[in-house]
Amino acid sequence: MPSTPLVVLNAPLDMHLHLRDGEMLQNVINGSTQTFSGAIIMPNLVPPVSSKEEVIAYKERISLAQGDKKFTSYMTLFFKPSYDKAFLSALRDEITAIKLYPAGITTNSEGGVSGFDVEELRPALDAMSELNIPLCVHGETNGFVMDREAEFVSIYEKLATAFPKLKIIMEHITTKESVAALEKHENLYATITVHHLFITLDDVAGGMLQPHLFCKPIAKRPEDRDALLKVALEAHSKVMFGSDSAPHPQHAKENCGCAAGVFTSPIALQLLTELFEKHDALENLQAFVSGNAQNIYGVQPLAKTVTLEKKPFKVPANYNGVVPMYANEEIAYSIKEVKNG
């Protein structure tokens, strides 16, 4: 019998991850620490992580929850225009990036930025430029839901022009306009999720509403997905994998006020392997899930080798009460082995 095809990934990284806190942190962390070497951890808790003490305390809670799993939490701070160089210098060694949210645009973002006046933001962003702290941005306006990200591209371009030494990460991009912006400004980069490479709005709401595929930014049109696929599959040097895996309790997803977020961390590498194989691009998967992130952020992840095999895997109905993408469905690849060191 022919051997089962194997795919080996070295030190995979998730450059946009929600681990939440408390019981939810305990419930979902293994989905990331089992197969990833590290992840950029989002700060939108309640209250948000906005001080050195809060960063250190949150990292300690994550460390306690992960136990003996080999995994690096790359911590972020919730952006506030009031941050100055003295404040940021004091916690530079504790964080990898700072995350900016437009006020009220997504989960726990009420304390975000209400306006994007360059001069109001200048003190904080100049300090970040000088200290080489990347700015991660959830890029949506409060306009019509399908247009929010495309409308935000002009803000990205304004910031990129005003702060040319600031590394700006366009998080979880979903539109062809965001992809095009990568080529216009040297200091713009992007993360792309696994779910936005698979689905369009039609999958979310074209038939029966699929609450576990609802997220912000919402999935867009086929031509937008095609634009994402092109740069992801070629492992464009300015894009990297960020799951935006965003767990919510099942009851919070399956109600009339459906919470935004898709939980993918336990199956992300399997889905990406399936996708890259389908498009004859497996040779680029390593760069997309690790190499590009290392170059963009300048991080050196812990050694971890993940071996995947082309063996059907039935996605569980839930992981400790959190329903994943493609629950109860069969996907093409399984995790065969994980080695640390």
The catalytic residue positions are 244
Q: Write b or e for each residue in 268-294: b if 16 or more Cβ atoms lie within 10 A of its Cβ, otherwise e.
A: bbbbbbbbbbeeebbebbbbbbbbbbe
Question: What pairs with residue 319 in β-bridges?
Answer: 322
**Based on the number of CB atoms within 10 Å of its own CB, is 78 exposed (0-12), middle (13-18) or buried (19 or more)?**
buried
CA dihedral 218, 208, 317, 321 (to 10 degrees): 60
Q: What whole-number distance in Å separates Cα of residue 245 and Cα of residue 248?
A: 10
Rounded Cα gap, residues 85 and 161, in angstroms: 21
Task: Report the C-alpha gap between 191 and 260 in whole angstroms.
Answer: 18
What's the sign of the alpha-carbon dihedral 84, 87, 90, 92? negative
| Own/partner pairs, 113-116, CB within 8 angstroms, 24+ separation | 113/79, 113/81, 116/155, 116/158, 116/159
Beta-carbon count within 10 A of 84 CB: 12
Q: What is the DSSP string of 201-236?
A: HHHHHSSS--GGG--SSPP--HHHHHHHHHHHHTT-
Q: What is the C-alpha separation between 261 and 62, in angstroms, rounded? A: 20
The tokens for 3 are 């051997």
Specify the amino acid at residue 67: G
Asked if residues 55 and 75 have their Cβ atoms less than 8 Å apart, the reply is yes
Cα–Cα distance measured from residue 108 to residue 45, given in angstroms and rounded to the nearest whole number: 6
Classify 156 as helix, strand or coil: helix
Please give the radius of gyration of the chain, using alpha carbons only, rounded to the nearest integer.
19
Give residue 93's region: left, alpha or beta (phi > 0; psi -120 to 50). alpha
